[in-house]
Amino acid sequence: MAESVEIRPMTFHREVLARIAPDLYMQRHLSLGLRPSLRAFEEFRNVEISDGRLSCASEDSINREGNNILGSNVLKCGKTMVITSITGGVVEENIPVKSEENEIVESYNETDRAANFGQVYPVVEVERGRVGAPTDEEMTLSQRIYNCILHSGLVPKTALDVAVGVRSTDAEGKTTITYSDEQEADGALPTTFKFRRKWTYTLYAKIQVFSRDGPLFELCWNSLLYALANTKIPRAFVDERTTDLKIPISMRGRSAAIRETFDIICDPTSFLPLRLNTSNKAFASNFAVIDLDPEVQLPKDDDDMQDSMPSSVLLADIQGEAEEASVTSTISVVTDGVGNLKHFKAVGGSSKITMDMMRNSIKLAKLRASDLDRKC
Amino acid sequence: MLSAQTGILEQVDGSCKLQCGETTVICSVTGPIEPKARQELPAQLALEIVVRPCRGVPSTREKLLEDQVRGVITPVLARYLYPRQLAQVCFQILESGEPEENYSVKELSACINAAFVAIVDAGIGLKFSFASVPLSVLGEDEQICVDPSQTDLIKSSSTHVLALQLAAGGQKVENILLFESYGDFTEKSMLQVLQSGEKACVETALELRKVIQHKIQQDFVWR
Amino acid sequence: MAKDIEISTSESKFLIEALRQGLRPDLRKFEEIRDVGITFGKDYGDVTVTMGKTKVHCRISCSIAQPYEDRPFEGLFYISTETSPMAGAQFENGNNTGEDEVLCSRIIEKAVRRSGALDVEGLCIVAGSKCWAVRADVHFLDCDGGFIDVSCIAVMCGLLHFRKPDVTVSGEQVTIHPVEEREPVPLGVLHIPICVTFSFFNPEDAEENIKGESNNEICLIDATLKEELLRDGTLTVTLNKNREVVQVSKAGGLPMDALTLMDCCHKAFKITEKLTDKITEVLKKDIESRNQHSAMLSSENARVS
């Protein structure tokens, strides 16, 4: 009657196990002292960067006609590819009446730190083969990069000021463009004309991610940094004849003169490099903290090895589905090579983040940052 | 410094209005309720987190706040108790207390604290208690400012938010749930911030416990 | 609104029967509104209005913008009414496409913006290039019926309470003076529209009401959530203290006697008067409490006349 039930251990192929039990797959690897990607615990992936020759300002641009990209970067890391392109626009600033007499005063604002820094508006797109409203991940990434750029002080506000030139047409119909800062040398600044308005550039960064394979903030940030480093902003000028246009209007018995918006024209041939605050240049790295499950450890031949196994380990540069799914505690560091941190984020899920791990992650991030800086 | 009232809203299961310095938020928690099909998780409680700004329409800034709050409350909720259920956690910022376009530390920390009280008010299972403080580092001498005022905040060279998982009646620090910093700082100053933050978090936790103690006394007033 | 809430048959029968006998669950009379509570926050233009258990928060803010090209002398004014699950689990976050949500925001829009309650020409700074953009963000906190009425009060209180920073204009340049530097200036509010919502119930069957002689439908003012769920028709009248009808909105539902409309307007006017007085009184008190030190700090001296 009683049939004996035989229990046999099942074996799965590596890929199958990774899919159905990513945490087990991960723990098995860790017990071997390796990660699913076969990297060591504290080993980073290599990154390859190039400017992709997308920018209209670069000499060997592959596309010059109708191109409005001012800076670009293509970053490859593992199977992930990040393409960053910087575009820009010009906006008018509101200047208070008071500053009229003493020109525009440029001074460091002590009481509002963020007011001294310019912003870059990033839009992250993670390509998934379909279009639609941006996902939560894309929105949080964009906002985090925005916050980080603003508070790191990488782009000084003054770097985004537009030094407006004037295009004048002389009697023979020949047009020349004069810029105030270029004119200073021969002292022939047209004194008849003074701008009472101020313009600034706004920079937008479109960051496209192909084949997502792990957390993206660090890749996007590094790519954006490289792109900003080779960004060149075009010179801009207004036509002499449009400097003081007023259009009278009247409506329901009221009348006023409306000053027409200036037509600011960007020079397609003359560019200036974007002046970045290089001391604030910092690169991002990420880390994971994961508890080792003693039950999943593979049997060891050597007995005293068992005791030296720590209860949790720090992994550098999270990659792949298995790692991302089984990791709940992460650390993300933005730093330069000498330890000036710009951003730090530790999220503790179920694994405890210890002080040592934070110190260790910062140490590794510094090394990584000096490596990445050399590629610039 | 910190004051909170519970049970201020009628249509939700738990609510809390928390005022912390210049910042005021309302948090509401509804759950466990039946989720929409796309939100449902087979073995755990799903979370819907909504942050609504004091002025204007919600933007990516609020999405980031939602993500940060989610990171803090996901590990502390006893989610295995409510499989295939949903909890809605909504925040309405009433007073921001900081320049919204550049900062969000005070709002984030107030939201986390309000969420703690509101989750307790809603009676959803928690594995640990938690508390959060905003911090900033001021000036040349790196003076650490706990819960900075608006004027201190915009002067600061770096801003930090710390949220800790606490045990033993809010006395013992178990783990870092969130530690996020922006600005200009070094490893040394960061670890100092962490230290003073831990102390401030424990203090905040005690304040929050008082609020909950008061709430429970009120709830059982008929005894 | 509140499409996902279900009310049991026995409860609905009880409610209707009670109404037929002239009773409401909260012991109010049919033409009585719930108590309105108005509290102001620290900042200008931050107001919370409660009406019974319904709670709405409104925040007014302003920024500099460019006016529309065809209206160079006018500032901008937006009202945003977005729902969130905070007011009740039946609301979806940021989804304003539901029939009731759209109706609610349209009625508030018409009552306040289209009626010219805010003087938009006063928001003009430099014609055609700079103006103030005022926005009212209505946050629904707690829903127990009557969102339209409460939101309208909240927006109007907010606008009356709000102060915008003072500006100096010289030619093209505009200086915005921070609040600490110069006393901010109030907005130009031209009249205070008040919405009153009537709910109609039909205790007989529908046919009786359309063809019959009796016309004994029940008319309630300021329904609670449960009453809103059971009502057969609704009418919102917006009036101001000058006895002007700003808007009448009756979107379908139970057909009503033409004369009832006049009657409703009369009833609504009494409420309008009462609420307007209440708003002005609360505002006065708030200003007094803000200015309690102004007499001391003032440099004004007693003059001999």
* Domain at B113, CATH number: 3.30.230.70
Residue contact C137–B58, C-beta within 8 A? no
CA separation for the pair B66, B176 (Å, rounded): 18
Instruction: Report, as an integer, the average pLDDT of A41-67.
Output: 79
Residue contact B54–C137, C-beta within 8 A? yes
- The residue among A54, A94, A92, A35 whose CA lies nearest residue A227 is A54
pLDDT tens for each residue of C10-37 = 998 899 889 988 899 889 999 999 999 9
Structural domains counted in chain B? 1
Predicted local distance difference test score (pLDDT) of residue B37: 87
**Triad A46, B67, B74: Cα angle to 5°:** 100
Q: In this structure, are residues A126 and A134 in contact, taking their beta carbons and an 8 Å threshold?
A: no
Structural domains counted in chain C? 1
CA separation for the pair A361, A215 (Å, rounded): 16
List, as one string, the DSSP characters of A123-173. EEEE--S---SPPHHHHHHHHHHHHHHHHHT-SBGGGGB--EEEEEE-TTS
pLDDT band, very low/low/confident/very high, at C127 (cuts 50, 70, 90): confident
Interface of C with B in 76-95 (CB under 8 A): 80, 82, 84-89, 93-94
Flag whether pLDDT at A81 surpasses 70.
yes
Nearest CA in chain B to A110: B155
Residue contact B92–C94, C-beta within 8 A? no
Predicted local distance difference test score (pLDDT) of residue A315: 93
pLDDT tens for each residue of C218-242 = 889 999 998 988 888 899 999 999 9
Q: Regarding predicted confidence, which is higher, A242 or A284?
A: A284
Residue contact A140–B74, C-beta within 8 A? no
In sequence order, what E strands does chain C have?
36-40, 46-51, 54-65, 76-82, 124-126, 130-142, 163-164, 167-170, 173-176, 185-186, 194-201, 218-221, 233-239, 245-249
Q: Dig out the tokens for A71 from the structure.
A: 């800076």
Residue contact A146–B60, C-beta within 8 A? yes
Predicted local distance difference test score (pLDDT) of residue C1: 39
As a whole-number percent, the residues of chain A with pLDDT over 90 amount to 31
Flag whether pLDDT at A100 surpasses 50.
no
Neighbours of chain A (3+ CB pairs under 8 A): B, C
Residue contact C59–B28, C-beta within 8 A? no
Lowest mean pLDDT among A265-269, B77-81, B116-120, C61-65: A265-269
For C72, which of A95, A96, A249 is closest by C-beta distance?
A249
pLDDT tens for each residue of A27-43 = 888 888 889 888 999 99
Query: What is the residue-averaged pLDDT of chain A?
Result: 82
State the pTM of this model.
0.90
Residue that the structure tokens 């999943």 belong to: A296
Asked if the structure places residue C145 within a domain, the reply is: yes
CA separation for the pair B167, C183 (Å, rounded): 50
CA separation for the pair A158, A149 (Å, rounded): 15
**Which of C132, C172, C177, C182 best tests the A interface by mutation, with the highest count of A CBs <10 A?**
C172
Q: Which chain B residues touch A135 with a CB distance below 8 Å? A: none
Q: Which residue segment(s) compose the domain that B214 sits in?
A: 2-219
Give the three-class secondary structure for C186: strand
pLDDT tens for each residue of B38-78 = 889 999 999 999 999 999 889 999 999 999 999 999 999 99
Instruction: Report, as an integer, the average pLDDT of B148-169.
Output: 91
Residue contact B11–C87, C-beta within 8 A? yes
Predicted local distance difference test score (pLDDT) of residue A105: 45
Question: Å from B55 to nearest chain C CA?
Answer: 6
Contact partners, residue C208, CB within 8 Å, separation at least 6:
C202, C214
Query: What is the residue-averaged pLDDT of chain C?
Result: 87
| C-alpha of C281 from chain center | 17
Predicted local distance difference test score (pLDDT) of residue B215: 92
pLDDT tens for each residue of C198-223 = 998 887 765 655 555 556 778 899 99
Put the strands of the sheet holding A80-93 in their side by side order.
A47-50, A71-77, A80-93, A198-210, A120-126
Residue contact B92–C43, C-beta within 8 A? no
- Tell me A280's DSSP state: G
Please name the amino acid found at residue A188.
Answer: A
Residue contact A249–C176, C-beta within 8 A? no
Lowest mean pLDDT among A11-25, A88-102, C223-237: A88-102
Flag whether pLDDT at A305 surpasses 60.
no
pLDDT band, very low/low/confident/very high, at A99 (cuts 50, 70, 90): very low
Predicted local distance difference test score (pLDDT) of residue B116: 96
B and C: number of Cβ contacts within 8 A: 68
Q: Which chain B residues touch C91 with a CB distance below 8 Å? A: none
pLDDT tens for each residue of A351-372 = 889 999 999 999 999 999 999 9
Lowest mean pLDDT among A280-284, C5-9, C266-270: C5-9
Helix (H) or strand (E) holding C213: none
Task: Name every residue in B having a CB less than 8 A away from some CB of A.
Answer: 60-61, 63-64, 66-67, 71, 74-75, 99, 102-104, 151, 154-159, 165, 174-187, 190-191
Predicted local distance difference test score (pLDDT) of residue A191: 44
Neighbours of chain C (3+ CB pairs under 8 A): A, B
Flag whether pLDDT at B93 surpasses 50.
yes
List, as one string, the DSSP characters of A204-273. EEEEEEES--S--HHHHHHHHHHHHHT-EEEEEEEEGGGTT-EEEEEETTEEEEEEPPP--EEEEEEEEE
For A143, which of B61, B71, B75 is closest by C-beta distance?
B61
Residue that the structure tokens 């070094």 belong to: B186
CATH superfamily of A47-280: GHMP Kinase, N-terminal domain (3.30.230.70)
Nearest CA in chain C to A258: C128
Q: Regarding predicted confidence, which is higher, A6 or C173?
A: A6
Instruction: Report, as an integer, the average pLDDT of A96-109.
Output: 51
Predicted local distance difference test score (pLDDT) of residue C236: 93
Scanning chain B, the segments in alpha helix (DSSP H) are 60-76, 105-122, 150-155, 187-219
Flag whether pLDDT at A309 surpasses 60.
yes
Q: In this structure, are residues B48 and B39 in contact, taking their beta carbons and an 8 Å threshold?
A: yes
Question: Å from A264 to nearest chain B CA?
Answer: 27
Residue contact B67–A136, C-beta within 8 A? yes
Q: Regarding predicted confidence, which is higher, B212 or A308?
A: B212
The region, left, alpha or beta by phi > 0 then psi within -120 to 50, assigned to residue C118 is: beta
pLDDT tens for each residue of A188-240 = 444 445 566 778 899 999 999 999 988 999 999 999 999 999 898 888 887 76
CATH number at residue C253: 3.30.230.70
Neighbours of chain B (3+ CB pairs under 8 A): A, C
pLDDT band, very low/low/confident/very high, at B142 (cuts 50, 70, 90): confident
- The residue among C13, C51, C48 whose CA lies nearest residue C32 is C51
Question: Å from C175 to nearest chain A CA?
Answer: 4
Question: Å from C68 to nearest chain A CA?
Answer: 13
CA separation for the pair C172, A104 (Å, rounded): 15
Nearest CA in chain B to A109: B155
Flag whether pLDDT at C289 surpasses 50.
yes
Q: Dig out the tokens for C9 from the structure.
A: 């048959």
C5 touches chain B (CB under 8 A): no
Q: Which residue segment(s) compose the domain that C144 sits in?
A: 22-286
Domain boundaries, chain A: 15-44+283-300+310-373, 47-280
